[in-house]
Amino acid sequence: MSDYLERYPHALMNTFGPPKLVLVRGEGSHVWDDQGREYVDFLGGIAVNTLGHGHPAVVEAVQRQMSTLGHVSNFFATPPQVELAERLLELAGVAPGAGKVFFTNSGTEANEAAFKLSRRTGRTHVVAAEHGFHGRTMGALALTSKAAYREPFEPLPGDVEFVPYGDADALRAAVSERTAAVLLEPIQGEAGVNVAPPGYLAEAGRIAHEHGALLWLDEVQTGMGRTGRWFASADAGASPDVLTLAKGLGAGFPIGACIGLGEAGDLLQPGNHGTTFGGNPVACAAALAVIEVIESEQLLAHATALGQRLRDGLAADPRVTEVRGEGLLIGLDLVSESSADVVAAALEHGFIINNPTPGRIRLAPPLNLSEADADALVSAWPAILDSAGVGA
């Protein structure tokens, strides 16, 4: 056993259980542990490592900015902060002035900001989806339906109602004139990659806006090219009022964003919210580099094509009963609840994958994953399932 694995439980809180490996180095879509073994990373830090590990453009941007100006308080502005806000508004399809950005350090903080923003409507009722996941802080947890996450920390902020994901009729029955916001993920990642039915997000927007409520889309996992589009909701006709981002935005450097579109961008005013580290120039420089690389390397198209190639290849094994997802956010169902065994077997074969539920596998590799690495997983897939005893 690694010396670090032995030391880990004596030094770190047991919030994540025993770690599987001690990773010491990464390059592109590959990582190495402290025993010298190499793995292909198909989890990408749970959809964080947009450009893999050690991308030179991100490294250079962070080093350059850190050597110039590492941190200032939010009494001051910096060029990367302003430029990144403008770029995100542009990617969201609006011009500066038609939306505003609040920067955070993580997805749960972006959702906390959006939750507080929704209270500025003068209403408190929020309608969210069953099986959704929005973070672990108290406010974000109040919006997350999973009982095992919620119950140890109740009472949580109230007036949150959960409805079945994808059910427009249930949503319509829940939303009223007292509703502040409807909160949805375009694709539910933590649940095992549940894709919104066609027309659902657009209908959710119509329902929310008919009652004067905000449509708040959590794109923490799905944003920044993960699905082959800048935002998974981009072509859904949804007209969101609030978008929340994190994960892939910094490609490994911690940053999140709460984007208020239209009038929602003016709901938070001085004194309503704040952050010490959010929007610091190093994080913003990293995110600007990520956007530039996605554009220059045409990674939206690459993620779309390679994601289809992976889904087709993995679905060819009859022990996979369903494959879902868009771009390089992929979920698949197994014939048995053996996903933990499949993850362990994949690790032995040199692949890092994830099991969000007992019967489901999730993949969220870097957007610049190579065709060779994708094909390697597809080729090894039957042997991985054999090793895990799936269908035996």
Q: State the catalytic residues.
A: 133, 218, 247
Positive or negative, the CA dihedral 248, 226, 94, 259 is negative
Which letter does DSSP use for residue 95 in this model? Answer: -
- Amino acid identity, position 224: M
Kind plus residue range of the DSSP H or E element containing 238? none
For residue 326, the SS3 value is: strand
For residue 112, the SS3 value is: helix
Strands 194-195 and 179-184: unpaired
DSSP lists the bridge partners of residue 182 as 127, 215
Rounded CA separation 367/48 (Å): 10
User: In Å, what is the CA distance from 175 to each residue of 203, 204, 213, 237, 263?
Assistant: 12, 10, 8, 19, 20
DSSP lists the bridge partners of residue 253 as none
Q: Rounded to a whole number, what is the distance in angstroms from the first to the last CA of the chain?
A: 30
- Give the pair of three-digit tokens for residue 275: 């952050």
Rounded CA separation 44/32 (Å): 14
Whether residue 329 contacts residue 221, with contact meaning beta carbons closer than 8 Å, is answered with: yes
Cβ burial of 392 (10 Å; 0-12, 13-18, 19+) is: exposed
